Structure 1
Amino acid sequence: MQTASFAGFIKTLFYIVAFYYIFKFLAKLFLPLLVKKVVEKAGANFQEQQQRSQDASWRTSNSNDEIIYNTAHSKNPRETKKVGDYVDYEEID
């Protein structure tokens, strides 16, 4: 069985600190590039989706030349649903 030594502890601590600073340095280098790439890809997907949506709406609007207005419902407004009876309360002195 091995026992922990002070030199082994310092060595492990050095490796942890070195890894932290190397990771921090590499993150500063590559993270902005990675984020830029992700944002560009999301923008391209959004543009493509908008283009498909506009093309689909253009095709459906070109085929419908007639516009029919339904005025039957505008003359008779919809009745409100009756839920219960109205009860008038009076204050008692």
Structure 2
Amino acid sequence: METASFTGLVKAIFTIMVIYYIAKFLMRLFLPAMAQQVVRKAQQDMENQRRNYEEQRNQQYTQQQYQQQQHQQQQEKPKDKPVVGEYIDFEELD
């Protein structure tokens, strides 16, 4: 069984400090690039949402226009008179 020595403790603290400073340096180096990538992705997602919303709105507008045209065409059609019977032309006999 080994006991903890002062040099082992110093080595462990030194190793922890080196790992901490390396991680801090790497974060400063890569974090801005990662943040830019996240922002770009969010912008693309918002642009896609806006584009989809506009497409849906245009489709709804087109459908409404089509329905209005159909309704107007139905209203403009002259209504046929119902056929009640045959027309018979009578002539007077002298």
Q: TM-score, normalised by structure 1?
A: 0.68
Q: Distance in 1 between matches of 2:64 and 2:42?
A: 33
Matched residue type, 1:58: N
Q: Greater helix share, 1 or 2?
A: 2
Unaligned runs of 5+ in 1: 67-93
- Alignment of 1:62 with 2:62, yes or no, is yes
Unaligned runs of 5+ in 2: 69-94
Q: What RMSD over aligned residues (CA atoms) do the two structures have, in Å? A: 0.8
Matched residue type, 1:31: L
Q: Distance in 2 between matches of 1:18 and 1:55?
A: 55
- Alignment of 1:32 with 2:14, yes or no, is no
State the Cα distance separating 1:2 from its structure 2 match: 1.0
Matches within 5 A, 1:1-93: 1-65=1-65, 66=68
Query: Which whole-Å deviations, capped at 9, do the CAs of 1:47-93 have from their partners, x for residues lacking one?
Result: 01110111011111121134xxxxxxxxxxxxxxxxxxxxxxxxxxx
Q: Distance in 2 between matches of 1:20 and 1:38?
A: 25
Q: Distance in 1 between matches of 2:20 and 2:63?
A: 62
Q: Distance in 2 between matches of 1:28 and 1:51?
A: 35
Matched residue type, 2:18: A
Give the share of equivalent positions with the same residue, in percent: 36
Please identify runs of 4+ aligned residues in structure 1 that moved more than 6 A. none
Q: Alignment partner of 1:13: what SS?
A: helix
The structure with the larger Rg is 2
Q: TM-score, normalised by structure 2?
A: 0.67
Q: Distance in 1 between matches of 2:21 and 2:51?
A: 45
Q: Distance in 2 between matches of 1:56 and 1:2?
A: 73
Q: Alignment partner of 1:55: what SS?
A: helix
